[in-house]
Structure 1
Amino acid sequence: METAEQVQVLTAVTEAGRDTHLITALRSAPGRFAVVRRCVDLADLLGAVGAGLGQVALVSSGLRRLDRDAVDAMRRARVGVIGVVSAGDAAGRERLAALGVDHCIPVDAEPSELAAAVLDAITAAQSSAPGDGRGSHRVVPDGGRSAFHPEIRQRSAEDDADPLEFVERGGQRGQLIAVWGPYGAPGRTTIATNVAMELAMLGTSTMLVDADTYGASIAETLGLLDDAPGLAGAARMANQGQLDAIALARYARKVTPELHVLTGVTRPARWTELRPAALEAVWSQTRSVATATVVDCGFCLEEDEAMVFDTDAPRRNGATVTTLASADVVLAVGAADPISLGRFVRGLADLREIVSDLSATHVVVNKVRRSVAGAGPEKQIGAALERFVGVQPAAFVPDDPAALDLALVSGRTLAEIAPRSAARHAILALSRRLAGLQPPPPRRRPTLLPTRRS
């Protein structure tokens, strides 16, 4: 890579004398490099980036308060980030790598090595798109057995995740399933919790996560205490580059041997704790320890916050947008009544702007009933969705208020409390498809043969 213009470099190397060596090396390096600002701390560095200075930043591994969110902010500004470590400082390299810094150089790097690293980091920053973690992975049942304890409403406080179990499971590349639906309570949490339980009962190690920044409710739905840090705690650890399998186990709750839960924020005002950059690291870790990660997302897909503020302000909907963009499969949930279907059709248009691969989106029509959709509701709703948005639902979940109310009061899923429910059978069939299994054969009613008259 050659350029006639000077490459603007920012430095934030806190150790005395080290930035002087780097500046001297840049001056003698092949190419045209200029240090436009020597930053004294992270706030100074982010201020320079926000002012439009610099194409690449040299940061030391010991820079105070450097976290994954700061690295992501620089990347969104198209500023490359290079870590500077002492010779043989393996711990420093590991910390920078955990924060998302892909380029590292020793503090005594040769001018040619430093120049090559700067140009590589700039190229990566210009071509990268933060938050794009899509893949094509399928859930594969990994053995195991299901278990549940329907005796009490509140699940046992001793059911914490086993760190050793997470370490042993680590290294997989699991599937991320995002459950989204428009405003109006179409049943996102109901579908997410029951799909997660069905996958677990099929023998798939599953992590259920509540990432709804407006109304997290998975803890209450499953009868768990909602005062645990859950996802917010895992996100804080990820933002500091300290989230691994052992740390994740500290915040996950064990519901069954194959199902673990990261509960959501207890108050909507705490949405700022779920930063997109941190959640990307959380999803990477949950993929590693679970074959399937099921995430209950918020309803709102707007990104207007970036238009209102001139600074790099937190994005309330960033958690949902980042999760949908990173998901391998999206379950788009809409209720079956006319008002909800109208919202659902408009919401799918917004969803298309985030999820480009519509083949990975499965439409789930929930609360299906004849009283609002008429006779043959599945056929009528399917025809309407085909006409207006060009999709066919992957599942129709019948409205079963008696079974759902019993599950909610008991703090259990349909599989645990009402296994013969029609809604449960529809969700089971959907979960089997997500797990790559054939749906169960339809149940046949016994036929009565006519009796012969003597």
Structure 2
Amino acid sequence: MSIPVLLAVTGASWEAEVVRRAERAPGIRVVRRCVDVADVMAAAASGQARAVLLADVLARLSSDVVAALHARGIAVLALVDPAETGAPLGTEERLSRMGIERILPADVSPADLARAVTDAIDAGPPISTAQFAGGFVPLTPENPHHEPPPYSQGAGRLIAVWGPTGAPGRTTVAVNLASELSAKGVPTLLADADVYGGTVAQMLGMLDETSGLAAAARSASNGALDMVMLAKHARQVNPHLLVLTGLSRADRWTELRPAAIESIWSSARTLAPATVVDVGFCIETDEEISFDSLAPRRNGATVATLEEADEVIIVGTADPVGLTRLIRAVHELQTVAPSVTVRVVVNRLRSGALGSSPGEAAAEALAQYAGIQPAALLPYDLNAVDTAMSHGRSLSEAAKSSKLRKAFQQLATSVVKDLAPA
């Protein structure tokens, strides 16, 4: 199988000749000719290549660019004017200081070019999930300091956190459930798949504009997504928690196609025993376009996630309006994922809204009208939530002794029991 390579030699006097040699090189395949550094980085982010051939004259080439390419597991090779090879304090040394592995003369033969690309890839740093230092499965003997977790490898559980309209606290539940699972030593992936404006990144103090989930979706669309690539798109919050940040703008929802989302969750099951996904409220489908599998669907990512999930946690609020919406949501979910395991979480439990015994009132309403008992009753603790949010932390870090945090601990304990044992 040929190695996919990016070629960025625009501006070099020998550009045309290098292009011909690269196209004749055995075992490698030029998948894209890039015009500048920005084009290179965009193509690299899509996961479509394993190596990049750069001209020494490429504008804005820097060590930061090389480091970013290395971080994505891409080997970097440079091509220089043959007259400058071997010159002291010349182009080769400058490129070497940037961290470029191989520096070749532009008149290199196709066979030698292919060999250099292969060697650069083989000589790269070994890629293993042990490098995440959090016990993410499958661990390898490369790192003896981490014991394999007591969960089945490749059988991770996908937990979708969903709920009706009205901001019942889906993201708060998703973030803190994932945090509590990781606190118990369970390698956990938290993903923000809310196409109407996810806020997982903001709640955890991540203020960059890069969407890890969108990047993973691009890799999936190009057939390049696996466990290792997925972990590279995620950000590590603590030794046992990775986060795939969501869309920076709601109008980017077209980037999350259902097929790509399904591929992401498949890789997530291999990466971690538990994947917690925050999804949007709406699961309505447009009947006029649903027959067209290529047409983008605003709620396609949400529906695909609920269909793929092993378990759905439905979040509702402890007031008459919230409970009515929650009961309807339980029935609505059955039309999308009739066989999925369901846990109902009643959020913002407080006296007054449902009488003097709000917990009993909520449980009675759910039993009577939805035929289900709540898995958790989360007390209304605005101070704890505000403290955690203002510090960009979960409740386990910012409000350890709060009643709300203890309720999340109990919820996580019940979830852990369903994880596949080794």
TM-score norm. by structure 2 comes to 0.63
Task: State whether residues 169 and 290 of structure 1, in contact with CA within 8 Å, keep that contact through their aligned partners in structure 2.
Answer: no
Cα contact 1:164–1:246 (8 A) shared by 2: no
1:185 aligns with 2:167: yes
Report Cα offsets for 1:140-168 as digits up to 9, x if no partner: xxxxxxxxxxxxxxxxxxxxx96744684
Which aligned pairs between 1:287-326 and structure 2 lie closer than 5 A? 287-304=269-286, 306-307=288-289, 312-326=294-308
1:342: Cα distance to partner? Answer: 1.4
Question: Are residue 412 (structure 1) and residue 378 (structure 2) matched?
Answer: no
Indicate if the aligned counterparts of 2:138 and 2:270 stay in contact, CA closer than 8 A: no
Residue pairs, 1:147-296, within 5 angstroms = 164-165=131-132, 168-169=138-139, 171-296=153-278
Give the aligned partner of residue 424 of structure 1: 405
RMSD: 2.2
Query: How has the CA–CA distance of structure 1 residues 263 and 305 changed in structure 2, closer, same or farther, with 3 Å as cutoff?
Result: farther
- State which of 286, 307, 313 in structure 2 corresponds to 1:331: 313
Deviations 1:300-359 (A, max 9, x none): 01011644886741111111111111111110000111111111122222111112125x
| 1:35-184 equivalent positions in 2, closer than 5 A | 164-165=131-132, 168-169=138-139, 171-184=153-166
2:347 pairs with 366, 389, 393, which one? 366
Q: Is the 8 A contact 1:167 1:245 kept in 2?
A: no
What are the superposed Cα offsets for residues 113-163 of structure 1, whole Å, 9 maximum, x if unpaired?
Answer: xxxxxxxxxxxxxxxxxxxxxxxxxxxxxxxxxxxxxxxxxxxxxxxx967
Distance 1:310 1:330 in 2: 27
Amino acid across the alignment from 1:186:
P
**Letter aligned with residue 291 of structure 1:** P
**How many angstroms apart in 2 are the aligned matches of 1:405 and 1:180?**
22
**Contact residue 220 and residue 264 of structure 2 kept, 8 A:** yes
| Runs of 5+ consecutive residues of structure 1 not aligned to the other structure | 1-61, 66-160, 438-454
Tell me how far 1:371 sits from its aligned partner: 2.1
Kept in 1, the 8 Å contact 2:129–2:138? The answer is: no
CA distance, structure 2, for counterparts of residue 219 and residue 366 of structure 1: 21
Taking the aligned partners of 2:316 and 2:350, their CA distance within structure 1 comes to 13
* Kept in 2: contact 1:272–1:316 (CA 8 A): yes
> Residue 378 of structure 2 corresponds to which residue in structure 1?
397
Q: Percent identity?
A: 49
CA distance in structure 2 between the aligned counterparts of 1:192 and 1:392, rounded to whole angstroms: 20
Say whether residues 1:382 and 2:363 are aligned partners: yes
What is the identity, as a one-letter code, of the residue corresponding to 1:365? V
CA contact (8 A) 2:188 2:274 kept: yes
Cα-to-partner distance string for 1:261-313 (whole Å, 9 max, x where unaligned): 00001000000000110111101111111110000010001011644886741
In structure 2, the partner of 1:357 is 339
Q: Secondary structure at the match of 2:246?
A: coil
Give the aligned length. 279
Which residues of structure 2 form unaligned runs of 5+?
1-28, 33-127, 141-152
Cα distance in 2 between the residues matched to 1:342 and 1:187: 16
Give the counterpart letter for 2:190 in structure 1.
L
Question: Could you say what secondary structure the match of 1:420 adopts?
Answer: coil
Q: Structure 1 residues 306 and 289, CA, compared in 2 at 3 Å: closer, same or farther?
A: farther
